[in-house]
Chains A and B, each alone.
Chain A
């Protein structure tokens, strides 16, 4: 079975996420007879792709929707892998674009993969009948004797020097949510509780450069003790963890954070670090090995018996086996994908795909739908000039009109397929549907933006219904890259 994971770009291939989530599984999947390829979506040709299963990962744009719809028509089983929650908080108007994308993606998908139970519940909220598989982030294998040595060295070293080396590591910011450095600052009082016990604390912070802006540095300055800061790289992370006694991992309770995997805690434990996690109990399945409050940590440390010690490595191994074993995760995934592949079916309707272009769209999405034989249709809100197959006009106070090029007209069918007379726009011959005089001089984009926002959702919903009910379009998709808070239900 050939599986392709589609990621947003060439650069994505080098990210820690791809390395941890997919590349660690490649070998064990191969042993189970599954070949796994990770490729940028730009290089994926759904009409000619040699694969059985395609998994869309982090490609939150219309290219993925089109690729999925086209591939589905070729009996390639398409699924989506979700591990960041940009979808559950329906009150958040900044994320309308993501919710609209997911609603469409799940409509096309034959299955979904996700990182945690919370993410699975989110998917169920969108589409309850979709098979969902929870794929835990695999953790690297640990060497028992080496880890025992590391623990012995760290515990005896820190006790003899009375210096506790505490680290915080990870992505320090997010474009939408206050996480990372914000959490460190908000929960930093717990670090004061460590210093209160008369122990010298050396705090180190390893994070990305973008998080270290003026506000990030100000928050770090408000921590109760000085910190040494460095920029994150995977090598530096490994180096830091090698010299860290305690990893401080605060977690807030916003949906984005509580849907995260246990990757950070497992990484820290595997490197021989004690974990102090305050806030939301994200790592509660590791409770035997981690600390929820500083006083327990200090008490155990004074006794020389912290929760992660040579005698508890077996527990860690069992936890990794249960929650993050690459072999186990690969075997489970292979079984799941095989079942999806065996029960695969292609799209039921034989009509074309139509991609509606909203406020902001991309040439790539337009090219993808054209290449897939679909219709590329500009809504009244689209100001970009592309070689569209269809254009919608909305005169002020009048009825909307859909104009299809004569070429596109040949590809649609249904009761609505009747010509209203040809006219030439942008050098192309179009025919109008819906009764209205078409005036090329009054596209909707001449309207003020608030008016466009008010009209957007009903217009897209009506257009979608028209295309599928009147013109036999199999799948109507929307390309919307704008950050405007519009969320049509299509």
Chain B
């Protein structure tokens, strides 16, 4: 038995040795195929290895990494281990880990000299993901290319940025082309007063920009359609201190990306294309990098591209080119529509882009537009906000209109570059996009017919608007995308849905209009109708009468009489309208409760000569262990898109509205759509008793399940 055990142990030992040798061979092969291991660089950097005649790959595999040596200029052993403490704890070769696991797990390959970035694990450590398959990656085509500064040529043929060579030219035409592109970049960035004769977005030979996204920590990652040969791309930005090189890389494969670290996420970028050894091929300007994914203006790119062609892929370069042409036009020859931007400061906290130096610099230098507060503040916070938002462009614009925005919006690029070619004669409410917090989902609220947003009680509308500066003409009549509303930094609380953000209105401060309430007992259960009457009786408005359309129950009639004094019964709605003796009437369909004492008084404030009915969004309280609010139909818009606004809606609410008495009669005399408008005030809400809803409110269409990115035409 002992002999057998000994033999088994021997076999086991040999098998183990075999496995180790196999693993070593595989590791050597992986390192040899990996472009991060630079054999020449290794030998040059570590002369002791060179002098010892040891194979550099074997040296790095066995001992080099333990000594903190780097396999090449593009991979820092120390930074990788510092940034990935779980790898360091395992005691394995960091480059091998990166090749086999790290790159698939999203771990970066820190270049030599990079500051390390610790992986985040405040109280929990995650092990590396188990690979579902193990295989040797196919060898990538090795590309040798000259980094900026290593490009060699005669001085007169070199293009330099900040004393660093970025390209060399084969002829004077190329050189002139590059210099013109650089001057154009300076001009469009507001650093050079001399405008080019014509806008040239691209020139020479270049690659096609397929995609670009903000990948976090200030990096803009770009993907390009590769050419047959490797193309080196260098990115230049003109920002304050002159042109600066902000990124470079070689695109040889579909998987290659170019990372850029812009000095500003908003300022234009110039991409210069060269051969691997630095010979100039061409250039392309990206005027609005904020249109890239994750950028401030990405929602606008999506909206514009989908509006153009809903089924086509979003073409960043094309949209950027179109907007660039318009910018060139309004900065050279054409008059812009927007003269200046005014900002309402209601509920502002000064944290949105309009208050941030980086964004304001872009507005002033590139868009050349002034900004001011709509109303000067009085308290210290309001004074601070008014001063913080005020921005003077160096050259005032010649536009015809003021663009009015809420403080959590930014003006759309389309609005800022719009030229004055239309013929509108009235103030105009525009469409807006509401962006999600990561800016990758956006809801587009399109105001199709340009109906003005109603002003209400001194509070600003949540819709952006173009206000004519006392001049006729100058505004396009088509629907306009005027602004992007930045995300609410939190969803609305249940309390805010029940009582929207509104200064507390004392009863004495409100008018106490007399309203006749119209109710249909046949659509209520008797207890719920009595509840409705109880709530109505607490309204700050004084109800002079209640008219039941149809016979109420005996108890209900008794309660109504006790609460309101006068109770009348009409057999039909038409007859009921004839019984209204007050100047105002309210209709309450089934199962609507006015839970806020101010509801009727506040809605009456929004009634004007052009308005037929005014209503409020409906919230439903779900029953259950944990009470919660649901927002059917219009509630979505109310809660998430248009808080604190009064907006026009397509038709009267089915279940609740207030109107002037003569309008009510008209409404039933002429059941077709009348001339005039219906409004929904988001300043107040009403409740629907749960479990009784039979059909959706008609005033807003539901959000599309298929497409959460854009829901069009909330308002028909």
Q: Give the contact stretch, choosing among B185-193, B224-232, B593-601, B663-671.
A: B593-601
Contact of A279 among B123, B240, B351, B494 (CB under 8 A): B351
Q: A451 with B595: in contact, given A93-B498, A187-B351 (CB under 8 Å)?
A: yes
Q: Does A242 contact B (CB under 8 A)?
A: no
Q: A396 with B384: in contact, given A280-B350, A451-B593 (CB under 8 Å)?
A: no
Q: A221 with B217: in contact, given A226-B117, A281-B384, A485-B499 (CB under 8 Å)?
A: yes
| Residues 217-256 (chain B) with a chain A CB within 8 angstroms | 217-218, 239-240
For residue B294, which residues in chain A have a CB less than 8 angstroms away from its CB? Answer: 222
Q: A231 with B122: in contact, given A93-B498, A448-B689 (CB under 8 Å)?
A: yes
Q: Does B625 contact A (CB under 8 A)?
A: no
Q: Does A449 contact B (CB under 8 A)?
A: yes
Q: A454 with B218: in contact, given A196-B263, A253-B349 (CB under 8 Å)?
A: no
| Residues 213-261 (chain A) with a chain B CB within 8 angstroms | 215, 217-218, 221-226, 228-231, 252-255, 257-258
10 interchain pairs (CB within 8 A)?
A190-B358, A192-B263, A192-B265, A196-B240, A228-B117, A231-B123, A253-B381, A255-B381, A450-B593, A457-B597
| Residues 450-466 (chain A) with a chain B CB within 8 angstroms | 450-451, 453-455, 457-458
Q: Give the contact stretch, choosing among B35-43, B500-508, B565-573.
A: B500-508
CA distance A258 to B349 in the complex (A): 10
For residue A178, which residues in chain B have a CB less than 8 angstroms away from its CB? Answer: 349, 351, 489-490
Q: Does B211 contact A (CB under 8 A)?
A: no
Contact of B597 among A190, A225, A279, A454 (CB under 8 A): A454
Select the residue from A91, A226, A281, A454 with max chain B CB neighbours within 10 A. Answer: A454
Q: Does A484 contact B (CB under 8 A)?
A: yes
Q: Does A487 contact B (CB under 8 A)?
A: yes
In the bound complex, do residue A200 and residue B115 qualify as a contact, i.e. CB atoms below 8 Å apart? yes
Task: Given contacts A93-B498, A200-B115, list 5 more A-B pairs with CB under 8 A.
Answer: A91-B347, A93-B495, A93-B499, A447-B534, A454-B594
In the bound complex, do residue B530 and residue A397 qualify as a contact, i.e. CB atoms below 8 Å apart? yes
Interface digits, B101-136 against A, CB 8 Å rule (1 contact, 0 not)? 000000000000001011010110000000000000
CA distance A437 to B294 in the complex (A): 65
Q: Does B29 contact A (CB under 8 A)?
A: no
CA distance A396 to B495 in the complex (A): 25
CA distance A223 to B532 in the complex (A): 51
Would you call the interface of chain B mostly helix, strand, loop, or mixed? loop
State how many residues of chain B have any CB contact under 8 Å with chain A.
71
CA distance A96 to B495 in the complex (A): 9
Select the residue from B534, B558, B621 with max chain A CB neighbours within 10 A. Answer: B534
In the bound complex, do residue B351 and residue A183 qualify as a contact, i.e. CB atoms below 8 Å apart? yes
Q: Does B88 contact A (CB under 8 A)?
A: no
- Closest approach, in angstroms, between the C-beta of B159 and any C-beta of chain A? 21
Q: A450 with B689: in contact, given A218-B438, A228-B118 (CB under 8 Å)?
A: yes
- Closest approach, in angstroms, between the C-beta of B628 and any C-beta of chain A? 11
Contact of B559 among A186, A192, A226, A397 (CB under 8 A): A397
In the bound complex, do residue B217 and residue A90 qualify as a contact, i.e. CB atoms below 8 Å apart? no
For residue B555, which residues in chain A have a CB less than 8 angstroms away from its CB? Answer: 397
Q: Does B16 contact A (CB under 8 A)?
A: no
| Residues 128-178 (chain A) with a chain B CB within 8 angstroms | 163, 178
In the bound complex, do residue A396 and residue B117 qualify as a contact, i.e. CB atoms below 8 Å apart? no
- Closest approach, in angstroms, between the C-beta of B148 and any C-beta of chain A? 15
State how many residues of chain A have any CB contact under 8 Å with chain B.
62
For residue B627, which residues in chain A have a CB less than 8 angstroms away from its CB? Answer: 449
In the bound complex, do residue A454 and residue B596 qualify as a contact, i.e. CB atoms below 8 Å apart? yes
CA distance A90 to B357 in the complex (A): 31
Q: A230 with B351: in contact, given A91-B503, A225-B218, A455-B534 (CB under 8 Å)?
A: no
CA distance A215 to B501 in the complex (A): 24
- Closest approach, in angstroms, between the C-beta of B665 and any C-beta of chain A? 29
In the bound complex, do residue B490 and residue A186 qualify as a contact, i.e. CB atoms below 8 Å apart? no
In the bound complex, do residue B533 and residue A397 qualify as a contact, i.e. CB atoms below 8 Å apart? yes
| Residues 376-402 (chain B) with a chain A CB within 8 angstroms | 380-381, 384-385, 388
Of all chain A residues, the one with the shortest Cβ separation from B599 is A454
In the bound complex, do residue A253 and residue B348 qualify as a contact, i.e. CB atoms below 8 Å apart? yes
CA distance A215 to B350 in the complex (A): 20
| Residues 321-349 (chain B) with a chain A CB within 8 angstroms | 347-349
| Residues 678-694 (chain B) with a chain A CB within 8 angstroms | 687, 689-690
In the bound complex, do residue A454 and residue B535 qualify as a contact, i.e. CB atoms below 8 Å apart? yes
- Closest approach, in angstroms, between the C-beta of A86 and any C-beta of chain B? 13
In the bound complex, do residue B351 and residue A182 qualify as a contact, i.e. CB atoms below 8 Å apart? yes
For residue B689, which residues in chain A have a CB less than 8 angstroms away from its CB? Answer: 448, 450
For residue A221, which residues in chain B have a CB less than 8 angstroms away from its CB? Answer: 216-217
Of all chain A residues, the one with the shortest Cβ separation from B117 is A226
- Closest approach, in angstroms, between the C-beta of A486 and any C-beta of chain B? 9
In the bound complex, do residue A280 and residue B534 qualify as a contact, i.e. CB atoms below 8 Å apart? no
Q: A252 with B122: in contact, given A96-B495, A450-B689, A485-B498 (CB under 8 Å)?
A: no
For residue B385, which residues in chain A have a CB less than 8 angstroms away from its CB? Answer: 253
CA distance A229 to B489 in the complex (A): 22
In the bound complex, do residue A224 and residue B218 qualify as a contact, i.e. CB atoms below 8 Å apart? yes
In the bound complex, do residue A186 and residue B352 qualify as a contact, i.e. CB atoms below 8 Å apart? yes
Q: Which residues of A contact B (CB under 8 A)?
A: 90-94, 96, 163, 178, 182-183, 186-187, 189-190, 192-193, 195-196, 200, 202, 209, 212, 215, 217-218, 221-226, 228-231, 252-255, 257-258, 278-281, 293, 396-397, 447-451, 453-455, 457-458, 483-485, 487
CB-CB nearest 8 A-B residue pairs: A397-B559, A450-B687, A224-B218, A189-B358, A93-B499, A253-B350, A454-B535, A186-B351
In the bound complex, do residue B538 and residue A195 qualify as a contact, i.e. CB atoms below 8 Å apart? no
CA distance A371 to B239 in the complex (A): 70
For residue B631, which residues in chain A have a CB less than 8 angstroms away from its CB? Answer: none
Q: Does B511 contact A (CB under 8 A)?
A: no
For residue B120, which residues in chain A have a CB less than 8 angstroms away from its CB? Answer: 217, 229
Contact of B621 among A163, A254, A450 (CB under 8 A): A450
In the bound complex, do residue B502 and residue A252 qualify as a contact, i.e. CB atoms below 8 Å apart? no
Q: Does B528 contact A (CB under 8 A)?
A: yes
CA distance A315 to B193 in the complex (A): 45
Q: A484 with B495: in contact, given A92-B501, A229-B120, A448-B689 (CB under 8 Å)?
A: yes
For residue B52, which residues in chain A have a CB less than 8 angstroms away from its CB? Answer: none
In the bound complex, do residue A189 and residue B349 qualify as a contact, i.e. CB atoms below 8 Å apart? no
Q: Does B562 contact A (CB under 8 A)?
A: yes
In the bound complex, do residue A280 and residue B531 qualify as a contact, i.e. CB atoms below 8 Å apart? no
- Closest approach, in angstroms, between the C-beta of A143 and any C-beta of chain B? 32
In the bound complex, do residue B534 and residue A202 qualify as a contact, i.e. CB atoms below 8 Å apart? no
In the bound complex, do residue B356 and residue A94 qualify as a contact, i.e. CB atoms below 8 Å apart? no
Of all chain A residues, the one with the shortest Cβ separation from B688 is A450
For residue A215, which residues in chain B have a CB less than 8 angstroms away from its CB? Answer: 437
Q: Does B527 contact A (CB under 8 A)?
A: yes
In the bound complex, do residue B117 and residue A447 qualify as a contact, i.e. CB atoms below 8 Å apart? no
Contact of B357 among A252, A258, A293, A396 (CB under 8 A): A293
In the bound complex, do residue B538 and residue A458 qualify as a contact, i.e. CB atoms below 8 Å apart? yes
CA distance A394 to B499 in the complex (A): 24
CA distance A91 to B346 in the complex (A): 11
For residue B535, which residues in chain A have a CB less than 8 angstroms away from its CB? Answer: 450-451, 454-455
| Residues 581-595 (chain B) with a chain A CB within 8 angstroms | 593-595
For residue A449, which residues in chain B have a CB less than 8 angstroms away from its CB? Answer: 621, 627, 687
In the bound complex, do residue B117 and residue A252 qualify as a contact, i.e. CB atoms below 8 Å apart? no
CA distance A293 to B358 in the complex (A): 12
Q: Does B145 contact A (CB under 8 A)?
A: no
For residue B503, which residues in chain A have a CB less than 8 angstroms away from its CB? Answer: 90-91
| Residues 514-566 (chain B) with a chain A CB within 8 angstroms | 527-528, 530-535, 538, 555, 558-559, 562-563
Contact of B493 among A94, A279, A447 (CB under 8 A): A94
Q: A193 with B357: in contact, given A252-B349, A252-B350, A487-B504 (CB under 8 Å)?
A: yes
Of all chain B residues, the one with the shortest Cβ separation from A97 is B495
